[in-house]
Amino acid sequence: MIDFIQIKPTPAQRVPFARWAVAQTPKVRTVGTATFAVPASLFADMPEPLLIGAIVDGHRYVEPDEDQGAELLGVANPDGMITGIPGVPLPEVPEEAYGPDSTPLPAPDPADEPTETPEGVFLCPGCDREFTTERGRDTHQRQKHPEE
């Protein structure tokens, strides 16, 4: 099985990229109007100027020199930098960590909440989920709240 890497070159590099692509074996396929599927075996040998600024598998490709100055994302604490782990919440950031020009989000005003259900909206009495039809609400009630 051949693995493919999707590459969307910058507008300025589309024509040079296409010229490079048609000269390759195995052929580089197109998967969209400006996106190419490059076999993984060819990716390592690609000319780097064709890749700079391109979107490679959903991420912007940067020059190695530009990447050297990148900082790690995380949260600093007295023990050092904490790297984010998926599924694990980061610790709270103290108020003094925010700059003087940062402003907190205003609290929601209860007066802004609608007091009655608008016409054409059907609420589920079990969970207050909104439906556009009575039939949709009734089906939901039978499936999700059979005890009621």
DSSP 117: P
**CA–CA distance, 127 with 85 (Å, rounded to integer):** 32
Residue 67 confidence (pLDDT) = 57
What the block records as the tokens of 132 is 């556009």
Residue 8 confidence (pLDDT) = 94
Residue 72 confidence (pLDDT) = 47
Class of domain 118-148: alpha beta
For the chain, the residue count is 148
Residue 124: strand, helix, or coil: coil
**CA–CA distance, 9 with 15 (Å, rounded to integer):** 9
Contact 84, 90 (CB under 8 A): yes
Give tens-digit pLDDT for 44-96. 888 988 998 899 998 888 877 765 555 545 555 556 666 677 778 877 777 77
The kind and range of the H/E element at 130 are strand 130-131
Give tens-digit pLDDT for 87-129. 788 777 777 777 766 666 677 776 666 666 677 888 888 888 8
Place of tokens 């003094």: 96
Q: Decide if pLDDT at 36 tops 90.
A: yes
